[in-house]
Amino acid sequence: MKRATIQLGINFLVVLIICIVLLGIGIKLIGDFISSADKMKKDVDDYHKRQLERVMSEGTLVATYPGVVTINRGDHAGFSLSISNELGYDNNFSLRVERVDILGGVDPEVLYERGYDPPNYIFNIKIKNNEQYFTPIRITIPRNGETGTYIFDVYVYIKNVTNLLVPIRYGDIQKLHVNVR
């Protein structure tokens, strides 16, 4: 009887040690997955930034990249926006994204790096003179969204010093296309 209880205790310790080792391996794998996803996201962001810098070097004030993203319903499309302040002085810039397609159904969710303000989707950022600002834009199509092409116009505004209620559009309107399968 005494030998059986000792053997049972040893078996319990072995199983406990195996469980702790497996838990550690699981935590390590999850950490590796998260860090590799962050690295891939950073690589994509760096690629977008290089493409935007190439376009901005040609004198463009506002640019987005990529112009078209294809996703499944329930997924999100990632875009990057660059604003170059060529006004000659530091200024605040505002961003507005408007849906312009004719698809029905529920509206996609639009997010910016610094949050969003539904229903206007406006954020303010101060950009110093002759500097560029890069920000991601994420558009999420709901699972019950329609299949087709969602089109968004991206507007960048600066403050109107003569009439603070009416902002002045800055740069060209940018078009974002989200093809949903």
Q: Could you read off the pLDDT of 71-104 as tens digits, one per residue?
A: 998 888 888 889 999 998 888 888 888 888 877 7
- Please check whether residue 117 is in contact with residue 83, taking contact to mean a CB–CB distance below 8 angstroms: no
- Mean pLDDT to the nearest integer, 21-25: 93
User: Which amino acid belongs to residue 33?
Assistant: F
Average pLDDT over residues 161-171: 79
Nearest to 91 by CA among 64, 137, 131: 131
Instruction: Determine the average pLDDT of the residues in 11-38.
Output: 87
Residue given tokens 């930034």 in the structure block: 49
* Eight-class DSSP state of 46: H
